[in-house]
Amino acid sequence: MRRLWIIVGFGFLVSLLATGVWTYGYRQAVGQLAERAEADLKLASDRLSAQLQRYQETAVLMAEHPALEYLDLPGGRDAARDLLLDVADKTSALDVMYADRTGRVLVSARDPSLQTLSGAPYFERALQGALGSDHGVIAPFDQRAFYYAAPDFGPDGKVRGVLVVVVDIDNTEFDWRGSSPAVLFVDEAGEVFMSNRPELLFWRRDGGDAGLQPAKGPPRAFDTDLLGSFEIWTLDWGPYLPRHALHLVQDLPVIGMSGEVVVDLAPARRLAWLQAAAVAAICLAFGALLFLATERRRTLAEANAVLESRVAERTQALSEANTQLRREVVERQDAEAALKRAQAELVQAGKLSALGQMSAGISHELNQPLMAIQQFADNGAAFLDRGKSEKAGENLGRIAQMAKRMARIIKNLRAFARNESEPMGRVDLVQVIETAVDLSAARLTHDGVALDWAPPSAPVPAWGGEVRLVQVFVNLINNAVDAMAGRKLRRISIRIEESDKLTVTIRDTGPGIEDPEKIFEPFYSTKAVGSSEGMGLGLSISYGLVQSFGGNIRGANTDSGAMFTVELDRFTEEKAA
Strand partners for 261: 183, 248
Identify whether the C-beta of residue 223 lies closer than 8 Å to the C-beta of residue 231.
Answer: no
E strands, 217-296, are 222-227, 230-235, 244-252, 257-264
Q: For the chain, give the longest Cα–Cα distance.
A: 142
Average pLDDT, the chain: 80
Cα angle 169, 172, 174; round to 5: 110
Q: Which phi-psi region, left, alpha or beta, contains residue 464 (left: φ > 0; alpha: ψ -120 to 50)?
A: left
Lowest mean pLDDT among 183-197, 227-241, 456-470: 227-241
Residue 416 is predicted with a pLDDT of: 42
- For the entire predicted model, the pTM comes to 0.46
Single-letter code of the amino acid located at 325 = L
In whole angstroms, what is the distance from residue 268 CA to residue 28 CA?
8
Using CB atoms within 10 Å of the CB of residue 11, give its burial: 0 to 12 exposed, 13 to 18 middle, 19+ buried.
Answer: middle
Give the pLDDT score at 417: 46
Determine the average pLDDT of the residues in 501-520: 86
Cα 63–64–70 angle (5° rounding)? 110
The reported pLDDT for the residue numbered 151 is 93
DSSP letter at 361? T
Neighbours of 370 (CB within 10 A): 12
Confidence at residue 492, expressed as pLDDT on a 0 to 100 scale: 93
- pLDDT for res 567: 92
Distance, CA of 158 to CA of 364 (rounded, Å): 122
Model confidence at 204: pLDDT above 50: yes
Q: Across residues 131-156, what is the average pLDDT?
A: 87
Q: What percentage of the chain has pLDDT greater than the value 70? A: 87
Contact, 484 vs 490, CB < 8 A?
yes
Of the given ranges (135-149, 203-217, 369-383), which has the lowest mean pLDDT? 203-217
Count the residues in the chain. Answer: 577
Residue 343: predicted pLDDT: 41
Where is pLDDT greater, at 229 or 303?
A: 303
- Report the pLDDT averaged over residues 381-406: 83
Residue-wise pLDDT tens digits, 529-570 = 444 444 456 677 778 888 888 889 988 998 888 999 999 988
Lowest-confidence region among 7-11, 89-93, 497-501: 7-11
Of 169, 188, 216, 199, the C-alpha closest to 262 is 199
